[in-house]
Chains A and B, each alone.
Chain A
Amino acid sequence: MKKVLMGNHAASWGVRLSRVKMIAAYPITPQTHIVEELSEMCADGSLDAKFLKVESEHSAMASVIAAETTGVRSFTASSSNGLALMHELLHWAAGARLPIVMVNVNRALAPGWNIWADQSDSLSQRDTGWVQLYVEDNQEVLDSVIQGYRVAEQVNLPVMICYDAFYLSHTYEPVDIPDQEQVDQWLPPFAPEYFLNPENPQAFNGLVMPDNYMEMRFNLHQAHEKAKTVVNDVGSAFGERFGRSYGAIEAVSCEDAELIVITSSSATSPARIVTQQLREKGMKIGLLKVRMFRPFPTEEIREILANAKKAVVIDRNFSWGKSGIFADEIRSVMANQSDAPVIFGYVAGLGGKSITPALIQEIVEEADRNDRPEALSIWKGMKA
């Protein structure tokens, strides 16, 4: 069934098809449509779930953690300051190894107040232990929520589906909505090994002494290593069932590319146009979409970049005092690689500024011109 849906409603549909049983959320623009639609679905019975309208994002995540620990598939969504408020509990969710799926609509952080696209919110949560997927269009939003649960429940890690404010959240696109029956066959019911159960009374998340804490954390690390494969496997399996495959990365025309543009989220779409046009003009250019930020697809990126001379990373985010974050991550995984390309880090589109094809083209041409970047991070698309 095809429907024209805004990105937020695509997320709602993903939740509904995943037969989520418990939702807790707190309003924040530009995420609100997701939960508005979900409350309609709960109200009309099309989704059999309990919706807690909690008093904060912090409580949203706390109650979702609790529900998951009780053995029920749960969901929440947030954005920006809301996600920042959840920060402590993002650690809890991952440390407790709970397969929660949440949506974060990437929005800039205050001050000044800004409700528009910016990845700094979710990238600030980089080290909380969550799997993070940055998706490009509304179809991928829906598909990624469903895949998110299958990934999460296989590796016992929480999964955050991130997409850009307004570019996706409020933009209508035709979306194919899979049949519930097919999703049910593809995504089995949630049946955790451990859950809060008076018949087998166990304590969850208690005090861990130094003799075991590091080992516990090593477990978490191993789960992330495993997730690298699982995300790809699930993406392929999804493709087999529903005709749309996904992976940790997507490489377009990178095999012989000398310059590879690296993007994430909605900025990938204009980059596809620009790189295709330049390729048609004879430039050996490729495009690498990094869909999975955590765990970081280190090996795949090294393989793709091995034959390129230049890698041009466009970041809609910034780590203060350093660099665009994707660029920095790529620099770090390419360190000590004998055939590493020169890495150009560009920062663009913060706080909702458009990353237009023209801007991308300007960036590519500048990188193509220069042997080396003039700075670690080059800010583009600003007033002079």
Chain B
Amino acid sequence: MPEEEPIVYDTQSQLPEKVVSEGSMLWNKTGSWRYIKPRYMNKVPPCNQGCPAGNDIENFIQQIGLGDPAAAWRILKEENPFPKVCGRVCYHPCESVCNRDEFDRAIAIHALERFAAEHAPPDERPAKLRPDSSKRVAIVGSGPAGLTAAYHLARMGHSVTVFEAKEKPGGLMRYGIPGYRLPQDVLEAEIDDIRSLGVKMKCKQVVGRDVAWDEMKAFSAVFLSIGVHKNRLLGFASEGARGVRSGLEFLDSVARGDVPALGEKTVIVGGGNAAIDAARCALRLGSEVSIYYHRSRKEMPAFEEEVYEAEREGVAIHFLAQPVDIITEDNRAVGFQFRKALLGEQDPSGRRTPVPIPGTEFDVSADTIITAIGETSDLAWLPPDLQTEQGRIVIDQFGLTNHPGVFAGGDTALTTHNVAYAIGSGKAAACAIDSSLNDKPIENFQDRIIVGGKGAVSVSRYLETGKAHAANDSSGQVVAFSELNLNYFEPQARRKTQKLSIAERMTGFEEVNGGLSDQHARLEADRCFHCGVCTLCDNCYVFCPDVAVTKNSQMPEGYEIVYDYCKGCGICVYECPRSAMIMEDE
């Protein structure tokens, strides 16, 4: 390029008569002044790291901000077959790690997820990503873990058969979560997406009873996601009395529409989600409901939001009440005796253990008692040498058990029991099963597929589709709040979703939470910091004093740093609102 060549006058007579320029300064490669240099480097937004289901949250929010919720849905579906479900029932740990929470309030990620999912094009279903492999995979249990594994394995080209003990697939999503939180047709639509990939759903097939474990050997791999369906017992002789039911059984019958007759006063024992769900169902069935929990509010395992809504609806929650016995008359429950407790030392879970106070027993009258103090798996039918521990199947990071070819996930293998974790475990196992079917150790992909440092897995990255988590740098560096340039953000109110009034709720099982309007969704999406992800805001381009940042649509970042001229001042990195650039040594 002649413009980049210095002009040399060999003799005096070649000089122009006037002091007039005849060329540009482009020959002057000011890049030589530099000793450190900027680089575009997308990082992991905390929400993406914080999502156990491995959603590319930042990315789908960006699409909503750009006015394309269908694209947002497609991004979600790359990782998670259940955005409609998660947009409703997930306890959104992503929001509690959202950097925006330190600025004003966290982004309403769950509401945006639901918004995106509800804007899925009606006739569009996720397609297979690979041709048929002719490999067969069995999945035992059709809860979120099993169906997630089925969905991804089917997209990977494998032939998947799901064995489900109950009439319909869905597991606790169908039989555990009441309709006012998750309407059945919503769940059904997302299961249909999985069916459309050719996944065979064999319902009312109990492995170990209707189907022998040995039949599993016909499959190249098995994924055990059998869930937790056994109610923990209080251990009282009175537990068999009429009017006493387990939480899971109660929720199951409500889900089937087999509405049980309740008395006027229902007492629920427990503090988890099943207790809260049972309480809110009982309210809708016309009973007066009280919950008794043996620790304090702080230790409750139920989602805070659910507890809040239950109390708004009229559930009375009593804390530090240790069950003593069920009071019966003629083998029929008429009340419950509790004893008051104090909080003592922390237990291994970090929660303080209740210590009963002798002589503080008190009686509560009730005609229905629901016990919801925890659930466990029935593992008796499994091969005896399958390694278990405290009622859970023991797995590695990617779901592999001590049996080659046998993988497990979901509540039966995890200590944390919720839909998001179950989905995450289904994805990890799907990747591990696929790689084992291809005779490649999953460890080879580990660096690529883990998002951040909390174990969230990206199937999109595993398959290198480039559709989700493509922007995040594989270094796994997560953006801290202090790394953002907050000058580019103004406080904005978090958009609220509509909720039914209490009176409306009590008329039945209609969904309580509404979605966001188009306008509110856009506004909410615009609040997103897009931590660590370049949004082409142009700050680097506009502020470069050396015109060394150029727009270049050929580059993955959309910009190109012209290192011939970049003097290394660092303004681009400092002024990046979202820490999507770094300075590094030459």
Contact = CB atoms under 8 A, between A and B. Distances in A.
A223 B17 CA distance: 9
A139 to B, nearest CB: 33
Contact of A215 (B9, B18, B21, B22): B9
B15 to A, nearest CB: 5
A215 B15 contact: yes
A336 interface: no
Interface in B13-52: 15-22
Nearest to A205: B19
A216 B19 contact: yes
A223 B9 CA distance: 19
Main secondary structure of the interface of B (DSSP, over half): loop
Contacts of A202: 20-22
Contact of A219 (B12, B20, B21): B12
Interface centre among B12, B15, B16, B19 (most CB of A within 10 A): B19
A216 B15 contact: yes
A138 interface: no
A205 B18 CA distance: 8
A204 B18 contact: yes
Nearest to A98: B18
Nearest to B12: A215
Contacts of B17: 97, 156, 193, 219, 223
B206 to A, nearest CB: 84
Given A212-B9, A215-B9, A219-B12, A97 B18 contact: yes
A193 B22 CA distance: 13
A193 B18 CA distance: 10
B15 A206 contact: no
A206 B18 contact: no
Interface residues of A, number: 18
A208 interface: yes
Contact of A203 (B9, B15, B16, B21): B21
B19 A95 contact: yes
A144 B21 CA distance: 33
Interface string A171-199: 00000000000000000000001100000
B23 to A, nearest CB: 10
A194 B15 CA distance: 14
Contacts of A215: 9, 12, 15
Contacts of B19: 95-96, 204-206, 208, 216
B12 A194 contact: no
A203 to B, nearest CB: 4
Contacts of A208: 19
Contacts of A95: 19
B213 to A, nearest CB: 83
Nearest to B22: A202
Contacts of B16: 194
B126 to A, nearest CB: 56
A202 B17 CA distance: 14
Interface string A198-227: 000011111010001001101100010000
Contacts, number: 36
B12 to A, nearest CB: 4
Contacts of A96: 18-19
A194 B20 contact: yes
Contacts of B12: 215, 218-219
A223 B18 CA distance: 12
A194 to B, nearest CB: 5
A192 to B, nearest CB: 9
A194 B18 contact: yes
B20 A204 contact: yes
Nearest to B9: A212
Contacts of B21: 202-204, 206
Contacts of A205: 19
A156 B20 CA distance: 14
Contacts of B18: 96-97, 156, 194, 204
Contact of B15 (A193, A204, A212, A223): A212
A5 B352 CA distance: 113
A134 B76 CA distance: 90
A202 B19 CA distance: 10
Interface string A75-106: 00000000000000000000111000000000
A202 B9 CA distance: 18
Contacts of B9: 212, 215
B80 to A, nearest CB: 56
Interface centre among B18, B20, B21 (most CB of A within 10 A): B18
A215 B12 CA distance: 6
A273 to B, nearest CB: 44
A204 B17 CA distance: 11
A204 B20 CA distance: 5
A127 B97 CA distance: 76
B22 to A, nearest CB: 7
A215 B19 CA distance: 11
Nearest to A214: B12
Contacts of B22: 202
Interface string B149-191: 0000000000000000000000000000000000000000000
Nearest to B16: A194
B542 to A, nearest CB: 23
Contacts of A204: 18-21
Contacts of A156: 17-18
Nearest to A97: B18
Interface string B1-16: 0000000010010011
Contacts of B15: 212, 215-216, 219
A310 to B, nearest CB: 42
A200 to B, nearest CB: 10
Nearest to A192: B18
A363 B154 CA distance: 121
Nearest to B14: A215
A215 B22 CA distance: 17
Contacts of A216: 15, 19
A193 B20 CA distance: 11
Interface centre among B15, B16, B20, B22 (most CB of A within 10 A): B20
B125 to A, nearest CB: 59
Contacts of A212: 9, 15
B200 to A, nearest CB: 73
B77 to A, nearest CB: 54
Contacts of A218: 12
A205 B9 CA distance: 18
Nearest to B15: A215
A116 B18 CA distance: 37
Interface centre among A208, A216, A223 (most CB of B within 10 A): A216
A323 to B, nearest CB: 35
B303 to A, nearest CB: 66
Closest 9 CB pairs of A and B: A203-B21, A215-B12, A202-B21, A97-B18, A194-B20, A202-B20, A205-B19, A194-B18, A215-B15
Given A202-B20, A206-B19, A212-B9, 7 more contacts: A95-B19, A193-B17, A194-B20, A215-B15, A218-B12, A219-B17, A223-B17
Interface of A: 95-97, 156, 193-194, 202-206, 208, 212, 215-216, 218-219, 223
26 contacts: A95-B19, A96-B18, A96-B19, A97-B17, A97-B18, A156-B18, A193-B17, A194-B16, A194-B18, A194-B20, A202-B20, A202-B22, A203-B20, A203-B21, A204-B18, A205-B19, A206-B19, A208-B19, A212-B9, A212-B15, A215-B9, A215-B15, A216-B15, A219-B15, A219-B17, A223-B17
